Structure 1
Amino acid sequence: MAEADRDDLISIIDEEDKTTEIPTTLPLLPVRDVVIFTDMLLPLFVGREKSVRAVEEAVGGPGFVFLATQKDAAIENPSTDEIYHTGTVGRVLRILKLPDGRVKVLVQGVAKGTISKFMRKRAPYRVKIDLLPEPPVEEKVTLEVEALMRNVREQSEKILALRGELTNDVTSILQNVDDPGKLADLVASNLRLKIEESQALLEILDPVERLKRVNDVLSRELELSAMQAKIQSEVKDEISKSQRDYYLREQVRAIYKELGEHDDRSIEIEEYEKKIKKAKMPKEANTEALKQLKRLDQMHPDSAESTVIRSYLDWLVELPWSKSTQDVIDIRKARELLDREHYGLESVKDRILEYLSVRKLNPRMKGPILCFVGPPGVGKTSLGKAIASAVRRKFVRISLGGIRDEAEIRGHRRTYIGSLPGRILQSMKQSGANNPVFMMDEIDKLGSDFRGDPSSALLEALDPEQNAAFSDHYLNLPFDLSRVMFILTANITDTIPMALLDRMELINLSGYTEEEKLQIARTHLIPRQVRENGLKPRQITFSDGALSQIIGEYTSEAGVRNLEREIGNLCRKVARRIAEGKRKPAHVSRKTLPKYLGAPKFIPEMDQEENQVGLATGLAWTQVGGEVLYVEASLIRGKGDLIVTGQLGEVMQESAR
């Protein structure tokens, strides 16, 4: 196939009379990316073997070849339907064989023609053509045509001037062409038109009509060129303004430097340099911080990107890369602290003390991830705080309940507007140390949807083999979490993914007995509620009977959260009495309790001291503890039918029958 370099395209007007007769049968040379007009002189590179043979066939004959444009330039071997049938008869003026096997030919358009028949159906094609003579133009050009030609010349010169391609030679050529058809072909051959538009111009035989179409195209091209020049000018002005501002800022910085003073920008860069040095980051993070600082120094201070970089640098310098607290593990004091803060839970305390003992003997141990499992209100979160106090570490806590987006854990990428690191790194920054006690509450309530699976994002953070290089999407740098003491809490384990559950050591907190709740109320709950409600210890007192009744008849739970809530309710009512002027201390007993809290909410089952006919005793397990059930049986005359109630499947119904 033949390819044309449009930069080499030259149009000439040759008035020499060519006496050689054009044959009616010619070899066909398909060309790509160019439409060849009459009197157009063009160098072509011919590469395909079949196309080279077509050129050689033309050179071996009268020297003519039919030049037709391919409809799709990407096709290497076009069929007869993929070539425009209207084209130009070209005279081969010069041929040069290149070392790579290609041929460079210089052709000149001689006359228009159309393919009437393909004499050879396979490439190289040979075609029979019909010449398309143009209708004659009146010898005396009318005023309308003269005005049209002048307009075409002026618009052509304007377009060439906008492109920077206008020369005296081009102007002279345009002024010397006085034939409408040749002027139209000359201008069309030098316009950067689509192949379809150029082909449409080639197929118009009437010279005046073709010149009108060229005039319309020139008007459109002139408007586009003017708009393009305006856009380029505006961009250039904006770039010049930015360069001018940058140059002036650099001059101001140089002046401040000579005076021994600092401008605001230099002060900002120096402060970041000090913070980066003080942060003592790992090598990779330090390199990235200095790289971003260099970018910031070269940017306009008010650009959007500079704001993003400042935010990123602030996070880098504020994270505790090398800051840590010193562990002070005293097992005896830890035991005292746990006993003081939590009543009962002996097995749980023993396991925590064992964990701390191993930590004391082997500080670099990759210990297990503790997970406290139990109903609400049994002290899971407060146990984590007690562990942090026992080892004198910072304590941070996040709640995972309801989180469905992985980015909440691992952060958003910096390409998003307003992006931030995930909750893990936010909490690490909040703690100010790289070895806090990190509690993740409600891990059993994690969700997942189309935005990702947060539980999968936690795997890397909680795996001791991987968390030394935890990667947050926003930071995009490894952060060491291996020194963090992770503690998780959950109400149940059924909803925790197995991969996550496998990384934990479960510690079950089953709940408190009535005696333990009574002691917790005396030791912790009553003093706290009295203090929070502005009372003094002597202004309200509780009998053991009243506390037992609150535990048994006003609450039904494994923990003590509702118990504290009811005690707080009592304290508020007493606080109101005192605020109204009634100074007499309040003593809460079984007798006065309904006056404060109303009727009991839960009525316990009556204890059966001896067996009765038709009454069986059963035990039930609930989340708040064990229950005694009494099942009564009645004797009725049956029919032998078995009725299965409930929404049981077919298998269960068959088993029952």
Structure 2
Amino acid sequence: MNNHIEQQNVRSTVDLPLLALRGIVVLPGMNIHFDVGRKKSMAALDEAMKSSQEILLFAQRDLRVADPSAADLYEFGTVARIKQLLKLPGDNVRVMVEGVGRARLNGFITQRQFILASADLLDEPETDGESAFAQALIRELRMAFDDYIAVAPKMSGEVIMNIMTLEDVGTLADYVASNILLNLEDRQAILSEIDPCRRLEQMVKLLRSEIEILSLELDIRSQVKEQIDKNQRDYYLREQMKIIQQELGEGENIQSEVEEYQASIAKLELTGETREALLKEVGRLSKMVPGSAEATVIRTYLDACLALPWNTETRDKLDLQRVKNRLDRDHYGLEKVKERIVEYLAVKKLTPQHKGQILCFVGPPGVGKTSIAISIARALGRKFARLSLGGIRDEAEIRGHRKTYIGAMPGRIMNAMKQAQSKNPVILLDEIDKMCSDFRGDPAAAMLEVLDSEQNYAFRDHFIEVPFDLSNVMFITTANVTDTIPQPLLDRMEVIELGSYNEEEKLQIAKRHLVPKQIREHGLSGRSLRFDEDALREIISGYTREAGVRNLERKIALCCRKAAAARVMGKQGITRITVGQLESYLGPAKYKFDHASKVDEIGIVTGLAWTSVGGDTLKIEVNAMEGTGKIELTGNLGDVMKESAHAAISYIRSRADYLGVDHDFYKNRDLHIHVPEGAIPKDGPSAGITMATALISELTQRPVRHDVAMTGEITIRGRVLEIGGLREKSMAAYRAGIKTIIIPDGNRSDLTEVDPTVRKNVSFVPVTSMEQVLKTALVPMKKASAQSSGEREKTLEATLLEQPDGKRRSAAIRQ
């Protein structure tokens, strides 16, 4: 299109209010009315009415722009005269304008209250309307218009008469463009063309194009009408068939049922094998007697298939900061889990086609494995479904039963998809470590395909029989231990350990989540019941002994119940639960923590133990007596712990000269190694250096420092090997008042996971050999001899009198 404008085409330059049009193009000579709602547009109308009643009308390129700039408008528009203004309800105005002439936009002068623009008023170049070319264009346009009338909606006789009588080339082109159906771009193209002949020529092309489109619409309309007639005929015949079946006593009409199934299948927009299989079953149903057993089986199958979310999915909310804030709000701690979830979402945002890893949360009961999976679903904006796998021993529970069996149904995976009503939910497979296997099959083997992102895009349930895509599902599994999970299944999952909470973490969870929740659930408020922080600490340490916070929540709930009962019985004001009041609410404290001894003792060493509910200190005692070399091990010790004692004795015998021990101690001395609290089973290798130190202390009569605790496995050559559970063990040592902890050098990297408070107050000594352990743990000889045995016994007696006779938990200790 040639829009080049010669200088002589510019009549003058004017400054007029401008009205930006959305979806409308006004041509010269065109009378049109439209509604105005934007404040700037109404202000422009008011300004125009105050002066010459002339206004510039320019169409917007993008209808969505609310406050357009000059760049958002087309270059060519129209100068129009306002003929009528009508106030409408809701602060809108209906205006009627008449196009006066073409204008070209130079720019905005101001656009604060209204747009005041500068524009060039354009004159059309002179053309010879009597020329053969102009007459040929006029004749061609009228012929095209005759064809247009034949296929177009009914047009008024006045418009037809004007088109047949107008002789001016430019005016004729504008008039036709104003009175036929054209889109915004085509009408703007006519307005932008200054040369009348080229404008008329372009109008002829657009008219021919519209004729082709309208002709095609007529053909389509005719075909649709024929199809409707056929459908009406089929409907009439089906209704006749229905009446005949009712007269024959065949009961319900199976044909209407078939139609409903066909409509449901079409609505799901299924493709390929799935669509063909379902339509085949519908075809079989249409040929059966309605009440037959086979028809019931097919109905059950179709209902199960159509209830699945084949093409329904939710849109992920991949705002990582929002997800992180949500996880932080729902759960305190668990930083590794939160970091892994954010990483998963970051990869998902960068590569949407990435299938991701199956996450497996492993940890003791009550640490929040299930609740964090729910938080992940909420943060992502996905649907959530939960499957409890504990005790499942039948493979058909996962894959479903063949529909040929009586009472067959889909497996739990398909039921979870039906429950979620989305093809990309978060599905929690709870207690995956507690699946069983017997003669009916191994459900863990059936889970192999479900949890393999390379295979589950075409998962086949035995009942459904057609492939279903599980690749967009985010599977999260939970387990207490990984020992009972088959290795091939474990290999498909990324294991994330959720350790037990320490005392500070439990305190924050109680303050932020448990206390507000229980107060709310018991009909109280923060103004009627308050917990002191010291009282919460006492509940954590004195009334619960667990890895998670379930018992802690129960104790808080017990306090809330008693406070609610007191309020119902007439007590007013704020109930404040302090440490001194806990005994009246919860009874005497059940647990006491051991405290470090205040005196260096011979043959008694403080070890560190890991339990499922956290860390603990453990005293190991050794007595050496005249005898024949018997070795007695007591305290309900496991096989591994007994082997550690024998390894320690072998080390002492091999290093007798260096240690200053009698070479024949294993012949003429009886050794008794005892670990107190004999009712509690104990096992594990990490008490090796503790036993060796206690034996050497007793055999050399050198005291062991009372402020030192240790953990580590010993070999028969005296090497110290790394252990697990350092975080929990170090917390127990800190609680007991220990100042120095001896740890294997291999555990040096685990110090980053130790609580910052513990790292600040406790000194850690990494060692690689028993020589380094003894150097740190045993009191030097001069200092040991300076302190008489009588003084040590006196101090020991005073210390024992101070020790409370506290109960311990009955859980098994693992060294």
Q: Same fold (TM over 0.5)?
A: yes
Q: Are residues 1:414 and 2:369 paired?
A: no
* Cα distance between partner residues in 1 of 2:285 and 2:465: 18
Aligned partner of 2:274 in structure 1 is: 285
Q: Could you say what secondary structure the match of 1:463 adopts? A: coil
Matched, 1:616 2:605: yes
Residue aligning to 1:274: 263
The amino acid of 2:548's aligned partner reads G
C-alpha distance in structure 2 between counterparts of 1:609 and 1:643, whole Å: 28
Aligned to 1:568: 557
Shift, 1:436, TM fit: 0.5
* Aligned partner of residue 541 in structure 1, secondary structure: strand
Give the 5 Å matches for 1:391-402.
Answer: 391-402=380-391
State the SS of the aligned residue for 2:579. Answer: coil
CA distance in 2, matches of 1:647, 1:614: 21
Q: TM-score, normalising length from structure 2?
A: 0.48
CA positional deviation for 1:255: 5.4
Q: Which residue of 2 aligns with 1:311?
A: 300
1:141 corresponds to which residue? Answer: none
> SS in structure 2 opposite 1:628?
strand
Of the three residues 457, 468, 484, the one matched with 1:479 is 468
Partner in structure 2 of residue 529 of structure 1: 518
Whether the 8 Å contact between 1:542 and 1:588 is mirrored in structure 2 is yes
Which residue is 1:326 aligned to?
315
Listed one character per residue, the Cα deviations across residues 135-180 of structure 1 (whole Å, up to 9, x for unaligned) are xxxxxxxxxxxxxxxxxxxxxxxxxxxxxxxxxxxxxxxxxxxxxx
Aligned residue in 2 for 1:424: 413
Deviation at 1:250, TM superposition (A): 9.8
**Counterpart of 1:537 in 2: which secondary structure?**
coil
Of 320, 342, 349, which residue of structure 1 is paired with 2:338? 349
Match in the other structure for 1:457 = 446
- Does residue 1:605 correspond to 2:600, yes or no? no
Amino acid at match of 1:553: G
SS in 1 for 2:546: coil
Tell me how far 1:407 sits from its aligned partner: 0.6
Q: Give unpaired runs (5+ residues) of structure 2.
A: 1-237, 651-815
Does the 8 Å CA contact 1:282/1:321 hold for their aligned counterparts? Answer: no
Q: Quote how far apart the aligned CAs of 1:589 are.
A: 1.1
Whole-Å separation in 2 of the counterparts to 1:460 and 1:616? 52
> Taking every aligned residue pair, what percent have the same amino acid on both sides?
53
The correspondence of residues 634-649 of structure 1 with structure 2, limited to 5 A, is 634=623, 636-643=625-632
CA displacement at 1:357 relative to structure 2: 0.6
Contact 2:500 2:612 in 1 (8 A): no
Q: 1:647 to 1:481 in 2, by over 3 A?
A: closer
Give the match for residue 443 of structure 1. 432
Of residues 507, 524, 543, the one that matches 2:532 is 543
Question: What's the secondary structure of 1:591's corresponding residue?
Answer: helix
Q: Which residue of structure 2 lines up, in the alignment, with residue 586 of structure 1? A: 575
Q: How far is the alpha carbon of 1:584 from its aligned partner?
A: 4.0
Partner amino acid, structure 2, of 1:315: A
- Equivalent-residue separation in structure 2 for 1:633 and 1:647 (angstroms): 18
Q: What does the per-residue CA deviation read over 1:251-306, in whole Å, with 9 as the maximum and x for residues that have no partner? A: 6426599xxxx974333222111111112223211111111111111111111111
Name the amino acid aligned to 1:390: A
Deviation, 1:642, is: 2.6
Residues 614-652 of structure 1: CA distance to partner in whole angstroms, max 9, x if unpaired? Answer: 431100011111111122344544332234567869x96
1:599 and 1:391 mapped to 2: Cα distance?
45
Establish whether residue 338 from structure 1 lines up as the match of residue 331 from structure 2: no
Query: Shift of residue 599 of structure 1?
Result: 1.5
SS state at 1:640 partner: coil
Aligned partners of 1:435 and 1:516: how far apart in 2? 33
Secondary structure at the counterpart of residue 588 of structure 2: coil
Q: Considering only aligned residues, what root-mean-square deviation do their CA atoms show, in Å?
A: 2.5
Q: Note the 1:187-206 alignment, pairs <5 A.
A: none
Secondary structure at 2:401 match in 1? coil
User: Tell me, what secondary structure is at the counterpart of 2:355?
Assistant: coil
- Secondary structure, counterpart of 1:273 in structure 2: helix
- 8 Å contact from structure 1 (residues 410, 422) kept in 2: yes
After the TM superposition, which residues 46-195 of structure 1 pair with which residues of structure 2 at under 5 Å, given as runs? none
Distance (whole Å) between structure 2 residues aligned to residue 604 and residue 282 of structure 1: 66
**1:347-366, CA deviations, whole angstroms, 9 ceiling, x for partnerless residues?**
22112111111111111102
Secondary structure (helix, strand or coil) at the match of 2:631 reads coil
Write the letter of the residue equivalent to 1:442: E
1:381, distance to aligned residue in structure 2 (A): 1.1
2:376 pairs with 1:387: yes
Q: Which residue of 2 aligns with 1:95?
A: none
Supply the distance in 2 between the matched residues of 1:473 and 1:411 (Cα, whole angstroms). 5
Question: Which has the higher mean CA deviation after the structures are superposed, 555-564 or 443-452?
Answer: 555-564
Q: Which whole-Å CA distance do the structure 2 matches of 1:647 and 1:510 have between them?
A: 24
Contact 2:399–2:412, Cα closer than 8 Å, also in 1: yes
Note if contact 1:330-1:390 (Cα within 8 Å) is conserved in structure 2: no
Partner of 1:538, secondary structure, is coil
Task: Give, in angstroms, the shift of residue 559 of structure 1.
Answer: 1.2
Q: Secondary structure of the equivalent of 2:609? A: strand
CA distance in 2, matches of 1:310, 1:423: 20
Does the CA contact (< 8 Å) of 1:279 and 1:318 recur in 2? no
Kept after mapping to 1: 8 A contact 2:398/2:413: yes
